[in-house]
Structure 1
Amino acid sequence: MQSWLSRYVEAQHRALDSISLPDVEQAVATVKRAWEEDRQIFAIGNGGNAASASHFATDLGKGASDALGRRFRILTLADNVAWLTAIGNDYKFDDVFLRPLENYARPGDVLIASSVSGSSPNLVRAMEWARDNDLRTIALVGAKRGGIATLAEQAIVVADTHYGRVEDVQMTILHMICYAFMEQTKEPA
């Protein structure tokens, strides 16, 4: 067990080390611009990444907003179970993020999608719609990259394919975005 745990931790360090800090800095700048322009930010993901999107929305909407003294407009589209299941049942699961974007998103808003594979059809459809409707887009993906990495204006790639490691690193990236506002001066560079 000790050997396996050591290998896991070593692999986690390699995954963390694969983060491109300039890419994270660019994502912080995109989120800052949304804040400055009073734009809406949407966070989406499936499974563990849906939970991470909720965590990100909480940290940005509460902690970063408190630190800056003006609120971020942030929503995760995975938190409304009634709406998700109605769309999945009445239309198709591939539309669960697309349809709420059609209701809420405006040009200049930001969509942040997080996925290990980058290929989930519901994320791809949302990212396509966002691109076609002039949203700013950020994809957090694993080494396979997938369709959302190709569609996004900005892609932050974690150089691993292990779901647990990639999701952990993606949450670290989301925390870095939030804490850039919470631990920097009132407005990070």
Structure 2
Amino acid sequence: MTFAAAIDSSVAALRALHSIRPQIDRAAELILGTLRHDKKLLICGNGGSAAEAAHFATELVGRYKKSRAALPAISLSSDGSLLSCIGNDYGFDQVFARQIAGLARPGDLVVAISSSGNSPNIVAALHEAKALGLQSIALLGRGGGAAAPLAGCALTIPSENAAACQEAHLFLIHYFCELIDSTHS
């Protein structure tokens, strides 16, 4: 892919966010409502999406642009010891679902990030959220995969380019952080 084609693909994915604006607004309501009620976000993803999960949690517990109270968020992708324990004992498909089962409390929100929507551990995490009666958001791409129908709110980037989907996911994370900063002190 040429440099110009890469830029065009990323810009197209960002522009396409207009087509899922109702889902974006719903996701924002879920996130803001969860935090307003002092509940936590449980965020998960694999690979680059794991980095985005950690990034989102960091912006909430730490800060985005302004100093404000720390907000409750956990990146389920960040604890290597826990991931290897669950992966070894229960299988890699359960690394997020098992953490949700142990850490989630009523009113918490599961945020799953996957550029394909077909990662078995993301699908299992969304099943676990549903079994526990939790709301969930999924940031997806490439059609949404198996995760889309499981998420309470699926934000499926209308692009087949995984990198462009991840870039759009990061844009959405920052957009949500802007909203959070504007409503929390």
Q: Where on the TM-score scale, by shorter chain, does this alignment land: which range?
A: over 0.9
Kept after mapping to 1: 8 A contact 2:54/2:75: yes
Residue 176 of structure 2 is matched in structure 1 by 177
Residue 110 of structure 1 is matched in structure 2 by 109
Post-superposition Cα deviations, 1:113-136, rounded to whole Å, max 9, x if no partner, equal 010110100010110010111111
Kept after mapping to 1: 8 A contact 2:63/2:70: no
Query: Distance in 2 between the 1:28 and 1:52 partners?
Result: 17
> 3-state DSSP class of the match of 1:18?
helix
> 3-state DSSP class of the match of 1:38?
coil
1:185, CA displacement in angstroms? Answer: 5.1
Residue 167 of structure 1 is matched in structure 2 by 166
1:98, CA displacement in angstroms? Answer: 0.9
1:48, CA displacement in angstroms? Answer: 0.2
- Listed as ranges, the matches of 1:92-131 within 5 Å are 92-131=91-130
Kept after mapping to 1: 8 A contact 2:93/2:124: yes
> 3-state DSSP class of the match of 1:113?
strand
Q: Does 2:49 correspond to 1:38?
A: no
1:65, CA displacement in angstroms? Answer: 9.7
Scaled by the length of structure 1, the TM-score of the pair is 0.90
Q: Does 2:62 correspond to 1:62?
A: yes
1:6, CA displacement in angstroms? Answer: 1.2
Query: Distance in 1 between the 2:9 and 2:163 partners?
Result: 11
> 3-state DSSP class of the match of 1:44?
strand
1:141, CA displacement in angstroms? Answer: 0.6
| Structural RMSD (CA) | 1.8
Q: Does 2:149 correspond to 1:132?
A: no
Percent of aligned positions that are identical: 32
Opposite residue 77 of structure 2, the aligned amino acid is A
Residue 12 of structure 2 is matched in structure 1 by 14
Query: Distance in 1 between the 2:38 and 2:69 partners?
Result: 10
Count of aligned pairs between the two proteins: 183
Residue 153 of structure 1 is matched in structure 2 by 152
Post-superposition Cα deviations, 1:128-157, rounded to whole Å, max 9, x if no partner, equal 010111111001110321121110110111
Opposite residue 15 of structure 1, the aligned amino acid is A
Residue 28 of structure 1 is matched in structure 2 by 28
Give the gaps of 5 or more residues in structure 2. Answer: none
1:162, CA displacement in angstroms? Answer: 1.4
Opposite residue 60 of structure 1, the aligned amino acid is L
Kept after mapping to 1: 8 A contact 2:116/2:145: yes
Query: Distance in 1 between the 2:184 and 2:75 partners?
Result: 24
Kept after mapping to 2: 8 A contact 1:24/1:177: no
Scaled by the length of structure 2, the TM-score of the pair is 0.92
Kept after mapping to 2: 8 A contact 1:84/1:96: yes
Query: Distance in 2 between the 1:89 and 1:132 partners?
Result: 23
Query: Distance in 2 between the 1:137 and 1:17 partners?
Result: 24
Query: Distance in 1 between the 2:57 and 2:184 partners?
Result: 19
Post-superposition Cα deviations, 1:52-90, rounded to whole Å, max 9, x if no partner, equal 0000111122225965x4332100101110010011112
